[in-house]
């Protein structure tokens, strides 16, 4: 489709020079970026809005469209068979021979790499995502950063970038003072060995409840003791360090189970603790550059000139805080990886924090601050209730996955009881259903998770997409060959629509990267499924009696199989061959 767009753009560009003179010629680059897909295919396949040329040519868009139409009819752009006007639009119809021969042949040649790009070659992207607070379990609220972040990593790799996935663990802070105190008061090593992170959460919830009860009486005994335990940890106390390290190891062992289910690995697990001793150098540089101001005993960077609250760098007691550690992490990543982009995937609630420390790095005089990107996302709830670890009000991700897998196993038993690898398939479909449901909407949209909706095989869901993928594989397996792209001049409406849908894959991957928006791919996967299933209902494929048409339809089915499979992979979803 990109080549076709360029053909149309070059034809329009050349004709602007012919009609209005070389001095007023509109570049093909400007035209190709303005091309649109009409909302109704009866209007055409590609459209150029002439409204953008009104100021240059000092005439109405319909007049411009009519003048260009007259010239374009003399020589149609390669790959088109008709051009017509609709008000101020030029509408182009793609030639069937171009769709079936040129575009499908390219899909056949490139297969699952049809949507790939190479503009990222030689460039590095660092992606900071997942990053759970250790000593707490994965709950559904962690799903967003994890799957959005990994999908963006996969998309950038698909465009040729070298990607570094960083799990910036929340493994430092006063919560560890609370946990150490709770362990000393009520901890049982055997219970922790047996129950792992769940036992740590029980201790954490209990200490928070006790602190809250004290505060209601005007007391701060436990809160003060918790801060004292963390201060000892910061100062290198061996006992506290050993407990902290034990808690971290228990947490990572639990997280790896979830990452394995998701098919996610990381290149670095350097968390907040790694940057604790690197923050003082940042503080020293801020002082040297006269950026630090003392406010009520704390050290801040004043950002009032940028309509932001101050960025806190040091607390009153002189200790660092997460903005100073995040700035130190950014410097470490730039020095270590020399990134072209550094992407942070966290909830929208942290947007101010990122805007503040990005601005601080800019004020320090580093132009690479413009290469830092925050990718926010909305909240998730179940039954309309938000989640909070400190109160114990959580839906654990492992429990959510287990429920989805069990339900899928029942559905598979009903639909295909003799399937091999039933447990593996149920896991792929169940986990995939949860991920797809989460990634289907714009990432800024708040989500109320509904399991039955996520598992609907007939809706715009992961199971529907996976089932369609399996169906295409089954057709190809039974046919015994993959067919062959060939020029077909009399395409049916569903054949045309399916090829056009597949042809959009490079545009969709590019848009998803530009907008940092995985939902572009999930929605595109559904578009493929819908177009294929209409084609499947209306067109005999392996049973087609016309040998040439049969080969063409099998090639088209193979294109769906490979592109749909790659699209699902790009949003962290496995695709079983049989369901």
Per-residue pLDDT tens digits for 54-94: 999 999 999 999 999 999 999 999 999 999 999 999 999 99
| pLDDT above 70: residue 434 | yes
What HEC string does 75-115 produce?
CCCCCEEEEEEECCEEEEEECHHHHHHHHHHHHHHHHHHCC
Q: Is the pLDDT of residue 392 over 50?
A: no
* pLDDT of amino acid 383: 65
47: its two tokens: 């459209």
pLDDT at 321: 85
Query: Phi, psi (5° rounding) for residue 357?
Result: -75, -25
| pLDDT mean over 292-309 | 94
CATH 3.30.1360.70 maps onto the chain at 2-94
Report pLDDT for 384. 54
- Residue-wise DSSP of 432-499: HHHHHHHHSS-TTS-EEE-HHHHT-TTSSSHHHHHHHHHHHHHHHHHHSS-------SS--HHHHHHH
Taking the C-alpha atoms of residue 149 and residue 517, their distance in angstroms, rounded to an integer, is 10
Average pLDDT (434-458) is 91
25-44: pLDDT as tens digits: 999 999 999 999 988 888 89
**What CATH number does the domain located at 2-94 have?**
3.30.1360.70
Residue 388, beta-bridge partner list: 393
CB count within 10 Å of CB 480 equals 8
Does residue 512 contact residue 155 with C-beta atoms inside 8 Å? yes
DSSP string, 411-431: HHHHH-TT-SSHHHHHHHHHH
- Three-state DSSP at 323 gives helix
DSSP state of 371: G
Q: Which residue has the tokens 């503080």?
A: 283
- pLDDT, one tens digit per residue, over 156-205 is 999 999 999 999 999 998 899 999 999 999 999 999 999 999 999 999 99
| CB neighbourhood size of 64 (10 A) | 24
pLDDT, tens digit, 9 for 90 and up, residues 473-505: 999 999 987 788 889 999 999 999 999 999 999
Least confident interval from 264-273, 342-351, 410-419, 523-532: 410-419
Can you tell me the distance from the alpha carbon of 138 to that of 146, in angstroms, rounded to the nearest whole number? 10
Asked if 131 and 167 count as a contact pair (C-beta separation under 8 A), the reply is: yes
- For 124-278+322-391, which CATH class? alpha beta
What is the spatial distance between Cα 112 and Cα 30, in angstroms, rounded to a whole number?
30
- The whole-chain average pLDDT of the chain stands at 93
The boundaries of every CATH 3.40.50.620 domain in the chain are: 124-278+322-391
Long-range contacts of 101-105 (CB under 8 A, 24+ apart): 101/485, 101/486, 101/487, 101/488, 102/3, 103/1, 103/4, 103/499, 103/502, 103/503, 104/485, 104/499, 104/502, 104/552, 104/555, 104/556, 104/559, 105/485
What mean pLDDT do residues 415-433 have? 91
Look up residue 101 and give its DSSP letter. I
Q: How far apart are CA 53 and CA 63, in angstroms?
A: 11
- Confidence at 338, pLDDT banded by 50, 70, 90: very high
Q: Is the pLDDT of residue 405 over 80?
A: yes
pLDDT at 554: 96
Tokens of 418: 């003799």
The CA distance from 112 to 59, in Å, is 46
């Amino acid at each position: 489709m990109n080549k076709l767009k360029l053909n149309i753009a070059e034809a329009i560009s050349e004709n602007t020079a012919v009609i209005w003179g070389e001095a007023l010629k509109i570049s093909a680059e400007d035209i190709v970026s303005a091309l649109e897909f009409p909302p109704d295919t009866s209007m055409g396949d590609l459209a150029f809005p002439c409204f953008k040329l009104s100021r240059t040519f000092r005439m109405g868009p319909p007049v411009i469209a009519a003048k260009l139409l007259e010239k374009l009819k003399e020589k149609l752009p390669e790959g088109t068979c008709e051009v017509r006007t609709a008000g101020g639009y030029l509408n182009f119809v793609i030639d069937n021979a171009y769709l079936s021969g040129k575009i499908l042949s390219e899909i056949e040649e490139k297969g699952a790499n049809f949507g790939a790009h190479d503009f990222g070659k030689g460039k590095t992207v660092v992606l900071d995502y997942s990053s759970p607070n250790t000593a707490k379990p994965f709950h559904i609220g962690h799903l967003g950063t994890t799957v959005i972040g990994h999908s963006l990593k996969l998309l950038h790799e698909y465009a040729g970038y070298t990607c570094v996935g960083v799990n910036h663990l929340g493994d430092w802070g006063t919560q560890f003072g609370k946990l150490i105190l709770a362990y000393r008061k009520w901890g049982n090593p055997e219970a922790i060995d047996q129950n792992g992170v769940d036992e740590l959460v029980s201790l954490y919830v209990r200490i928070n409840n006790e602190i809250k009860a004290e505060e209601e009486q005007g007391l701060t005994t436990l809160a003060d003791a918790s801060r004292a335990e963390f201060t000892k940890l910061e100062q290198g106390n061996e006992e506290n360090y050993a407990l902290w390290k034990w808690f971290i190891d228990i947490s990572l062992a639990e997280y790896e189970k979830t990452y394995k289910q998701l098919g996610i690995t990381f290149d670095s697990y350097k968390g907040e603790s790694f940057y604790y001793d690197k923050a003082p150098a940042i503080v020293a540089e801020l002082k040297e550059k006269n950026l630090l101001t003392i406010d009520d005993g704390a050290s801040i960077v004043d950002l009032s000139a940028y309509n932001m609250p101050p960025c806190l760098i040091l607390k009153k007691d002189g200790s660092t805080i997460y903005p100073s550690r995040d700035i130190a992490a950014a410097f470490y990543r730039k020095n270590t990886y020399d990134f072209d982009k550094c992407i942070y995937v966290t909830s929208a609630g942290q947007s101010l924090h990122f805007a503040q420390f990005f601005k601080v790095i800019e004020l320090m005089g580093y132009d690479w601050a413009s290469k830092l990107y925050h990718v926010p996302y909305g909240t998730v709830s179940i039954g309309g209730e938000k989640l909070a670890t400190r109160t114990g009000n959580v839906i654990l991700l492992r429990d959510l996955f287990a429920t989805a897998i069990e339900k899928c196993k029942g559905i598979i038993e009903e639909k295909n009881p003799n399937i091999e690898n039933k447990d593996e398939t149920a896991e792929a479909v169940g986990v995939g259903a949860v991920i797809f449901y989460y990634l289907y909407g714009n990432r800024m949209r708040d989500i109320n998770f509904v399991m039955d909706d996520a598992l609907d095989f007939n809706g715009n869901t992961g199971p529907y997409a996976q089932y369609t993928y399996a169906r295409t594989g089954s057709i190809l397996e039974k046919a015994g060959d993959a067919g062959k792209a060939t020029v077909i001049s009399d395409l049916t409406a569903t054949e045309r629509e399916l090829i056009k849908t597949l042809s959009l894959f490079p545009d969709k991957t590019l848009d998803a990267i530009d907008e940092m928006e995985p939902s572009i791919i999930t929605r595109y996967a559904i578009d493929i499924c819908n177009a294929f299933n209409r084609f499947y209902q209306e067109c005999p494929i392996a049973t087609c009696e016309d040998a040439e048409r049969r080969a063409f339809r099998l090639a088209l089915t193979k294109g769906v199989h490979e592109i749909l499979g790659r699209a699902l992979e790009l949003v962290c979803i496995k695709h079983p061959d049989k369901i």
